[in-house]
Structure 1
Amino acid sequence: MAFQQGLSGLNTASKALDVISNNVANSNTIGFKAGRAEFQDVFAAALNGAASGVQVGIGSAIGAVTQSFSQGNITTTNNPLDVAINGNGFFRMAAPDGTVAYTRNGQFDVNKDGFIVNSQGFELTGFSAVNGVILAGATPKAIQLDFSDVQPSPSATMTLAMNLDSRDPVSPSFDPTNPTPLDRTNVTAGGYNFSTSATAYDTLGNAHTLSFFFQKTGAGTWNGYYQVDGTGNATAIPSPGSPLVFDNAGAITSGGQFNITFPEFAGTGASATQSIAFDLADSTQFGSQFGVNTLRQDGFASGRLTGITIGNDGVILGRYSNGQSRDLGQVTLANFQSPNGLLSLGGNLWAESPDSGQPIIGAPGSANLGLLNAGSLEEANVDLTAQLVQLIVQQRAYQANAQSVRAQDQILQTIVNLG
């Protein structure tokens, strides 16, 4: 029986060496999870009712090879399509044949059709987005990035908050056919006291420069004018926008809000009836230098996708050449009641099995799912030092079992010689 025991010991030590060698070989494999050989002893059935105290085992066997799904170290790569999972969960991947697999390897790329894929061509799945709105809660499907241009948005509102210097002299006149700045050494010539400009967008996304001129006509009273793209006559800001009136505390009391329609925009083929609502209600007239404190508007030109970023919640944000950004989708994660029940497919992929249970799918950070680290990768969780020590241990075990077989051989040889 010692031959069988020694042979089983050789087999189990050999299997353990295989597992350790596989761990060492994959120590640089992104997302790899180290395996462990679990041993069990083997007993023959006691046919003659032998007492348990005199039973002798007939060797050992490999009960299971399990994987440790502990967190691996996260290293920075600065590639926005490299993604690491910090915590529980797996990326859900759709194979070309429609089957689903799971992985911790976050080395992704974008193929010619805009799908986010791994090196084997499996497509990363998640929630899609329509016009920047993520359709969360739907069944995850392959994420396809939309490379189409962002449509322009015409300006509809503009906020302008400034300080008009109360110390500036009154200007006796303003020539709308030739806007000129006030000569403060010769105020009788007239002109505007202060000016500023802003960009507005028409219905086609064309940018237009709006120039504003402010003429002081009395204590706390200012007339306003505007000009489009630096051509044509300056036009008075329509009532109730002009004149701008300030009280003796420098706060605006009249003329803070008004609408202007721009037929000039039709020259580019855009709408001639576009109207913009202006808000100057936060403007002041203090005894300090003229300055613009706030200038914002809600329009923008068309834009092309220039880059993407993936947030820790899995949201894929597209950045566009016009300075805008919008959501393109959201990566989802899957977790299992028993990750060790997953079926290894190779290529850092696992498949669902009856032992693993069904996948629990959700957004990163929800339930017990981990968060994502974009521009990073999860290294293998192989402890090389521990593996090398185990390599020595199993090598010794293999040698010891070989000695057991040799000793049994010598005993049998002695018995034969007695005959």
Structure 2
Amino acid sequence: MSFQQGLSGLNASSKNLDVIGHNIANANTVGFKASRAEFAEMVASAIGSSGGVNAGIGVEVADVAQQFSQGNLTITGNSLDVAINGNGFFTLQMPDGTPAYTRAGNFKLDKVGNMVTNDSARVMGYPVDPTTGLRTGSTPVPMSFPTTEPIPARQTTTITTSFNLDARATDAAGDPTATPPVPATPRATYGTSINVYDSQGVAKPVNLYFQKTATDNTWDVYDQLDDPLATPPVVATPIGQITFDNSGAITGPVATPPATGFSMPLTVNPTPPNPNNLPAFDVQIDLGGVTQFGTKFAVSNLTQDGYTAGELTGINVENNGMIMTRYSNGVTRAEGQLALSSFRNTQGLASLGGNNWAATFESGQPVVGAPTDGSFGSLRSGALEDSNVDLTAELVNMMTAQRAYQANAQTIKTQDQVMSTLVNLR
């Protein structure tokens, strides 16, 4: 007579209650994945024994399997909170340098600007060229942002323009001999301005004026007005010409390498007084968006690529993992792209605690990529993935496990009564 069956049932039910209690305790843990106890029958077998006569020796917990189903997303409004909607894990570098993986995206910035988790693990991502927004490497590196010092100033290299010059405009010089006389058109009639930046981030206003010439479809470009009151008087000279074909499309000037398309150079002198004696610098004026149609002069786009120094003011993560940073100088640029990892068998991951997992032989090696690429899910900034624990189901499971524990205890009690009866036989 054996107590084995009841004892194994007690152990299995106790383990099941431990798993259920762990799930309930983590019902509000960000990125937590619920587990379940999976049982298996235990049977003693012997060589040559026939089937059908073995009552079995109880039950065992074959596995505690985590359930990697998607949790609900909760909007938090914190731009450093990031949720994965779909497949993948955030890739981490633990403080000891080992890799780890998590679904919890409640990230922080430490005192030196590193993107970290609550247990100081570094968040990994791809390096990105801030100018082009394109990846500069295929190996994830720890994400870091310039919180301890401003980003340096950048000298303007290109002014990009889009505007229309009125095809109805006549020669700006006018014709006093015509009947009636045609007055001259002031140079400032067709003009615009923009601030550019020198190598130290000091703004310099650049003015552009467009003056129709006597030649068909041709306009002179100036960077200043005449000043007859100056000593000596200033008579501006054109910095270039813009030409169009009969359909109003631009035909010149054609850019010289390394520039492409239609552009002209402009030499900018730093704003006086210039105490540091900065040299003049060249800026390319991109004219690809210029047209000549029979509507009034209108500027639709006028931008430049320089800026002064700026402090970090905000971070936002796009759905493809691109990390966009905002600075006090008005610049918004990409600083990196978060990396995700996926596994052939997520059930094979080893839990490290702290919402982190480690790869094992059973899980296979991670496949690393960017959000929205291939089978990877997308990201949601300002949101967190909730625990996938179904609290109602867990409470029901707890009651069932309790009943199972009581029933197994009853079998031990019954075995004890039978054993007492045998011992007391006379």
Change (3 A) 1:190 1:86: closer
| C-alpha RMSD over aligned residues | 3.7
Cα contact 1:28–1:380 (8 A) shared by 2: yes
Q: Does 1:353 align with 2:360?
A: yes
The correspondence of residues 170-249 of structure 1 with structure 2, limited to 5 A, is: 194=189, 196-204=191-199, 205-212=201-208, 226-227=223-224, 235-238=235-238, 240-241=240-241
Aligned to 1:161: 163
Do the aligned partners of 1:265 and 1:271 also contact (CA within 8 Å) in 2?
no
- Would you say how many aligned residue pairs link Structure 1 and Structure 2? 401
Which amino acid in structure 1 is aligned with residue 205 of structure 2?
T
Task: Say if 1:202 and 1:265, in contact at 8 Å, map to a contact too.
Answer: no
Q: CA deviation at 1:331?
A: 1.8
Q: In 1, Cα distance between the equivalents of 2:248 and 2:358?
A: 71
Paired residue secondary structure (2:3) = helix
Question: Which residue pairs with 1:183 in the alignment?
Answer: none
1:283: how far off?
A: 4.9
Q: How does 1:34-113 map to 2 (within 5 A)?
A: 34-46=34-46, 49-113=48-112
CA distance in 2, matches of 1:50, 1:387: 41
**Structure 1 residue 155 displacement after superposition:** 4.4
Residue 179 of structure 1 aligns with which residue?
none
Aligned residue for 1:53, secondary structure, equals coil
Contact (CA 8 Å) 1:227, 1:234: kept in 2 or not?
A: no
- Tell me which moved more, 346-355 or 289-298: 289-298
Structure 2 CA distance for aligned equivalents of residues 254 and 358 of structure 1: 56
Q: Do residues 317 (structure 1) and 317 (structure 2) align?
A: no
Which range moves more in the overlay, 231-240 or 408-417?
231-240
Q: Distance in 1 between matches of 2:19 and 2:185?
A: 91
Deviation at 1:198? 1.1
Name the structure 1 match of 2:136: 135
Unaligned runs of 5+ in 1: 174-186
> Any idea what the Cα deviations from partners look like across 1:253-273, whole Å, max 9, x if unmatched?
999975543446464346553
For residues 52-93 of structure 1, the C-alpha deviation after alignment (integer angstroms, 9 at most, x for no partner) is: 111111111111111111111122212121111222222222
Of residues 343, 348, 368 in structure 2, which corresponds to 1:341? Answer: 348
1:208 deviation in Å? 2.5
Change in CA separation of 1:257 and 1:56 when aligned onto 2, cut-off 3 Å: closer
Match of 1:176 in 2: none
Gaps of 5+ in 2: 176-181, 254-261
Q: Deviations over 1:119-151 (max 9, x none)?
A: 11111122234655533322x332222444143
> Residues of 2 paired with 1:93 and 1:246: CA distance?
56
1:10 deviates by: 1.2
Which residue in the other structure is 1:274 paired with? 281
1:331 aligns with 2:327: no
> Which SS does the other structure have where 2:113 is aligned?
coil
The alignment partner of 1:134 has SS state of: coil
For the residue of structure 1 that corresponds to 2:15, the secondary structure is: helix
Q: Aligned equivalents of 1:355 and 1:217: distance in 2?
A: 77
AA aligned to 1:87 is G
Cross-structure match for 1:25: 25
With structure 1 as the length reference, what TM-score do the two structures score?
A: 0.80
When normalised by structure 2's length, the TM-score is 0.79
Secondary structure at 2:161's aligned position in 1? Answer: strand
Kept after mapping to 1: 8 A contact 2:73/2:385? yes
Amino acid at match of 1:98: G
1:217 to partner: Cα distance: 8.9
Cα distance in 2, alignment partners of residues 247 and 120 from structure 1 = 65
Q: One-letter code of the match for 2:87? A: N
